[in-house]
Amino acid sequence: MADERLQQELDALRADVAKLGEDMTELTRVMRTLAEEHVSDARRSVDENIDTAGEELRRRVEAAREQSRQATEEFEKAVGQHPLGSLLGAFGIGVVVAQLLNLGSHR
């Protein structure tokens, strides 16, 4: 009788261990699925942030190009309206830069 009871308890223990193994397998599968979903969500978020940053960069580059184009047009217009003054101004700047470079070589 004691042997029979011990055998029943061992059988119950084996069944519990087998069930625990099945539960651990299922838990591992669920955790893997959740981790894959989390990684997928994170990757999607990073991709969206990269796309947004790329769009912002393109927008800023285009704005800088437009500002540069406008500044060039304004400069050309100013030179066209005052060609002699522009020439004298460029000459004066050249003289100043030459003097600064000349001072640097004498040291």
Do residues 77 and 86 make contact, with C-beta atoms less than 8 angstroms apart?
no
CB-based contacts of 5: which residues, under 8 Å, 6+ apart? none
The pLDDT of residue 1 is 73
* Count of domains for the chain: 1
Per residue in 68-79, pLDDT tens?
Answer: 999 999 989 988
Domain ranges, residue 7 = 2-82
Return d(Cα 9, Cα 18) in angstroms, integer: 14
Q: What does the block give as tokens for 101?
A: 């470079």
- The answer to the question of residue 33 being in a domain is yes
- The answer to the question of residue 98 being in a domain is no
- The answer to the question of residue 99 being in a domain is no
The pLDDT of residue 3 is 85
- The answer to the question of residue 94 being in a domain is no
Q: In the structure, what pLDDT confidence band is assigned to residue 86 with cuts at 50, 70 and 90?
A: confident
Separation in Å, CA 31 to CA 24, 41, 51, 62? 10, 15, 30, 46
- The answer to the question of residue 74 being in a domain is yes
- The answer to the question of residue 52 being in a domain is yes
Per residue in 16-54, pLDDT tens?
Answer: 899 999 999 999 999 999 999 999 999 999 999 999 999
The answer to whether the pTM exceeds 0.85 is no
